[in-house]
């Protein structure tokens, strides 16, 4: 079964749905979320996207990101995907949102109304290897230096969220 994601206007009002790959091929604006999890040392949990992902494989990004499915509440989707990708769940708090558009070498385009959530977790994730190849905890100052030194090693939305939200 093909996954249907939610199409939105620039005010995040639902205007329909579309099959996930077609939406990314056509660059249509759709609802998404990005989760940033921190531990008690205030380190951020990053994941390295699986090299087999349909775009941005092998790049470092925030703890979890995805799309709510048609008919699924945003808050339900965040907890579902955090569990599916990283093997844990935690309390999440919405801290903002932004719209961005990024085109990739493979012809796909991310055009997202991205809702940003944060959470706290001190355990070890249990990675779904179809989603993530690796993870690391990193302090904010070190992370900012890494992004500046090697921006090509990080996803487009992660760099935008870091600028806009953090």
- Contact (Cβ atoms closer than 8 angstroms) between residue 115 and residue 30: no
| Residue 5: CB atoms within 10 Å | 25
Torsion of CA 89, 96, 149, 111, to 10 degrees: 90
Please identify which of the residues 56, 64, 65, 90 carries the catalytic annotation.
65
CA atoms within 13 A on the CB side of 12: 14
Q: Respond yes or no: is residue 56 known to be catalytic.
A: no
CA atoms within 13 A on the CB side of 73: 3
Q: At what angle do helices 156-165 and 140-149 cross, to 10 degrees?
A: 130
Please identify which of the residues 4, 110, 112, 131 carries the catalytic annotation.
112
Exposed/middle/buried for residue 52 (C-beta within 10 Å: 0-12, 13-18, 19+):
exposed
Q: Which residues are part of the catalytic machinery?
A: 65, 112
């Amino acid at each position: 079964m093909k996954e249907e994601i939610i199409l939105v206007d620039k005010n995040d009002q639902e205007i329909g749905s579309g099959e996930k790959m077609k939406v990314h091929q056509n660059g249509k604006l759709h609802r998404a979320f990005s989760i940033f999890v921190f531990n008690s040392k205030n380190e951020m949990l990053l994941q390295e996207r699986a090299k087999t992902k349909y775009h941005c494989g092998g790049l470092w990004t925030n703890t979890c990101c995805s799309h709510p499915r048609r008919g699924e509440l945003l808050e339900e989707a965040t907890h579902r995907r955090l569990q599916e990708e990283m093997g844990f769940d935690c309390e999440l708090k919405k801290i903002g949102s932004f719209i961005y558009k990024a085109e990739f070498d493979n012809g796909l385009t991310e055009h997202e109304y991205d809702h940003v959530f944060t959470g706290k977790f001190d355990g070890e994730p249990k990675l779904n290897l179809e989603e993530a190849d690796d993870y690391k905890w990193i302090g904010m100052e070190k992370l900012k230096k890494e992004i500046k030194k090697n921006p090509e090693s990080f996803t487009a939305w992660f760099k935008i969220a870091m600028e806009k939200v953090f």
